[in-house]
Amino acid sequence: QKEVEQDPGPLSVPEGAIVSLNCTYSNSAFQYFMWYRQYSRKGPELLMYTYSSGNKEDGRFTAQVDKSSKYISLFIRDSQPSDSATYLCAMGGIQGAQKLVFGQGTRLTINP
């Protein structure tokens, strides 16, 4: 079993839809949780991060962490074609180490 599991999709939705992306993890020692966005043939870029359970909002994006269930989500409201990308969850902070463990990534397409 992988330490971080993420449905690879692909996921295709119409413009304006609410998108939900999810990851589960097995190691309760993870201290912080990130979402990266990766456009085609580019390197991943950090979208959002959270430290603890709860929600964090940034514009149309909301990151949610449920440590009791070892489950994290990213919601995209009013999705735009420019949101089409691969979204990777990442987790870290075990014993102060700077390593991140990534999910497989979910490929998302927003159709105009």
Partner 1 sequence: DAGITQSPRYKITETGRQVTLMCHQTWSHSYMFWYRQDLGHGLRLIYYSAAADITDKGEVPDGYVVSRSKTENFPLTLESATRSQTSVYFCASSVKQGISEAFFGQGTRLTVV
Using CB under 8 A, list all residues that contact partner 1. 6, 8, 32, 34, 41-46, 49, 51, 88, 90, 92-93, 96, 98-105
Compare residues 43 and 59 and give the one whose CB is closer to partner 1. 43
C-alpha separations of 61 from 1, 27, 99 in Å? 29, 25, 25
Q: How far is the CB of 16 from partner 1 (least distance, A)?
A: 28
Of residues 15, 6, 33, the one with CA closest to residue 76: 15
Burial degree of 22 (CB within 10 A; 0-12, 13-18, 19+): middle
Closer of 19 and 34 to partner 1 (Cβ) = 34
Cβ of residue 36: shortest distance to partner 1, in angstroms?
A: 8
Q: SS3 for 109?
A: strand
Find the shortest distance in angstroms from Cβ 112 to partner 1.
26
Of the two residues 97 and 112, which places its CB atom closer to partner 1 in the complex?
97
Q: Which amino acid is at 103?
A: G
